[in-house]
Amino acid sequence: MEATVSFCPDCGKAFEIELPVEPLWSLASAALLVPMKPATLKRWLSKHREDPGLGPAQYMGSWGRRYRMLTASDVKYIRSKVVSPHWRRP
């Protein structure tokens, strides 16, 4: 992995970002990719909470209203479990 140094525009403090960064998808976007309804995806995630193929839960937003985010590898894993191999692209 490669690290990139950036500077905060407010205070000027330097910080590093490790690249490449895996993209994050919201539940609504991931539901389109899987394909299933967002409520069904949310239920599937709660039932398979301890599944070793899924990464740790990541959230964006404040504590009052947080949004679950899924990595690209999580979306691929869920799709491999939910969609029949007959319909998956080779």
pLDDT one-digit tens code per residue, 48-90:
999 999 999 999 998 888 999 999 999 999 999 988 777 666 5
Identify the residue whose tokens are 């539940």: 27
Q: Is residue 61 part of a domain?
A: yes
Q: Report pLDDT for 15.
A: 86
Q: What is the CATH number of the domain that holds 68?
A: 1.10.1660
- What pTM was estimated for this model as a whole? 0.72
Q: Report pLDDT for 89.
A: 63
Q: Is 59 left (phi over 0), alpha (psi -120 to 50) or beta?
A: beta
CA distances from residue 75 to 7, 18, 48, 70 in whole angstroms, order as listed: 32, 22, 13, 7
Q: Is residue 80 part of a domain?
A: yes
Q: Is residue 6 part of a domain?
A: no
What domain range includes position 43? 23-90
**Do 30 and 41 contact (CB within 8 A), yes or no?**
yes
Q: Is residue 74 part of a domain?
A: yes
Split into its structural domains, the chain has a count of: 1
Q: Is residue 7 part of a domain?
A: no
